[in-house]
Amino acid sequence: MSDNRYGELRPGQRVLMGPGPTDLDPRVLRALATPVVGHLDPDFLHIMNDTRDLIRSAFATNNHLTVAMSGTGSAGMETCLVNLLEPGDRAVVCVNGAFGQRMVDIVGRIGAEAIVVQAPWGRTIDPADVEAALKQGGVKLVALVHVETSTGVWQPVEEIAALARAYDALVVLDAVSSLGGAPVLVDAWQVDAAYSGSQKCLSAPPGLAPVTMSERARAAIGRRRTKVQSWYLDLTMIENYWGEARAYHHTAPISMVYALREALRIAAEEGWENRWRRHLRLGRALQAGLEAMGLSLIAPPEHRAPMVTAVRVPEGVDEAAVRRQLLADYGLEIAGGLGEFKGRAWRIGLMGNSCQWKNVVLCLTALSVALRAQGYKASADEALAAAQAALAAY
């Protein structure tokens, strides 16, 4: 019995300005459409090697253990935590948003103890609080989020990483939103484990998680008394597939690796410093435009990430209705708030290939129209002038 009930795949044409996924470069789309080879094919092994080198370049590291995990950024988070922690271990987890909370959840599922260092959502973690937690003793690792996608807060890493090292703890860094859009200097900052997602500032499709681990972290894995609780995310085996042994573990997602390699290649051609600067300039331009419309941003200016901006919804404005209008009238996607900011914030991304001046202009203009439709006075002229001025200042 033939079944023809399902129509052509024809999703709407979008401008993606949420916090990932992003619009893909046509080269990445073509890479996705490249015919598949086997996961142990010599040609694929070369492609994996290139991808691994490029991930090292993105993380500014020489770490041997550098892979793309076959899952999304959250799988990268779980990979780092389940490989480094065993039941009964103590971990200091910095929480100032949804993704820090997720780490606490995972640490609990491992049967490890999470010592939570908190800051209000929208604020940075205070290194003094981390030190106080480290003084409790016996801490195996400190985990923190570089750019909290739920608030747009950009956390300084170096001081906390130095503290962790002083107390002989490993440093785990969530670089999901930051990697490719701002410096993530794994070796210079002495970060021991970092993970990201393919669909943020790297502008590959969602589905892979770049992960890198220092020799210190590898040694910690080598000293485990128990097996890693996840077979699928067990780096001791995955390392043998990405490494010289090429031992089969699971079938790599070939098409996704093609796409990630191409996206990383595009980023390397642009140059990481140029890419960081592009994100910083356009992010500041967008933020200046939003403030010129009288909108209030959640992250303080000195800790405001450029690639994702969380904006308070003004009193009396229907958060979801604005997003619906942007999508219907412009094909423009921005995201709603998460957790504490659900229904109370928008999150606007300028990531990777979506981080373009024309998108800044479209977003500010479309938002001003949508806000005016709800009785909130917003001038596109003023927003664009402020954005241009900010751009010129960088």
* Cα–Cα distance, 198 to 175 (Å, whole number): 11
Q: Tell me the window of 13-21, 114-122, 164-172, 290-298 that interacts with a copy of itself (CB under 8 A).
A: 13-21
Q: Does 292 interact with a copy of itself (rule: CB under 8 A)?
A: no
Q: Does 327 interact with a copy of itself (rule: CB under 8 A)?
A: yes
Subset of residues 329 to 368 that bind a copy of itself, contact rule: CB under 8 A: 333, 335, 338
Q: Are 172 and 80 in contact (CB under 8 A)?
A: yes
Name the residue among 196, 217, 168 with its Cα closest to residue 55.
196
Q: Which residue intervals of 34-157 are DSSP H helices?
A: 42-58, 73-84, 98-110, 127-134
Q: Does 88 interact with a copy of itself (rule: CB under 8 A)?
A: no
From 197, 314, 337, 352, residue interacting with a copy of itself (rule: CB under 8 A): 197
From 55, 68, 75, 84, residue interacting with a copy of itself (rule: CB under 8 A): 75
Subset of residues 94 to 153 that bind a copy of itself, contact rule: CB under 8 A: 102, 105-106, 108-110
Name the residue among 172, 145, 184 with its Cα closest to residue 55.
184
**Residues 6 or more apart from 42 whose CB is under 8 A from it?**
none
Buried b (16+ CB within 10 A) or exposed e, 38-49: ebeeeebeebbe
- What are the tokens at 55? 């991930």
Long-range contacts of 237-245 (CB under 8 A, 24+ apart): 238/67, 238/69, 239/65, 239/67, 242/48, 242/52, 242/66, 242/67, 243/64
Residue nearer to a copy of itself on the CB measure, 231 or 394: 231
Q: State the nearest-atom distance from the C-beta of 385 to a copy of itself, in Å.
A: 30
Q: Which helix (H) or strand (E) holds 154?
A: strand 153-154
Binding mask of the shown chain, residues 262 to 281, with x at each position contacting a copy of itself by CB under 8 A = x--x--xxxxxxx-------
Q: Does 252 interact with a copy of itself (rule: CB under 8 A)?
A: yes
Residue nearer to a copy of itself on the CB measure, 46 or 377: 46
Residue nearer to a copy of itself on the CB measure, 149 or 212: 149
Residue nearer to a copy of itself on the CB measure, 14 or 216: 14
Subset of residues 200 to 239 that bind a copy of itself, contact rule: CB under 8 A: 205-207, 227-233
Q: Tell me the window of 123-131, 187-195, 261-269, 369-377 that interacts with a copy of itself (CB under 8 A).
A: 261-269
Phi and psi torsions of 171, nearest 5°: -115, 125
- What are the tokens at 170? 């490993």
Residue nearer to a copy of itself on the CB measure, 128 or 248: 248
Q: Distance of alpha carbon 216 from its chain centroid, rounded?
A: 24
Q: Tell me the window of 179-187, 247-255, 283-291, 362-370 that interacts with a copy of itself (CB under 8 A).
A: 247-255
Q: Does 50 interact with a copy of itself (rule: CB under 8 A)?
A: yes
Q: State the nearest-atom distance from the C-beta of 52 to a copy of itself, in Å.
A: 12
Residue nearer to a copy of itself on the CB measure, 45 or 385: 45
Question: How many residues belong to the site for a copy of itself (CB under 8 A)?
Answer: 89
Residue nearer to a copy of itself on the CB measure, 5 or 223: 5
- What are the tokens at 50? 């290139």
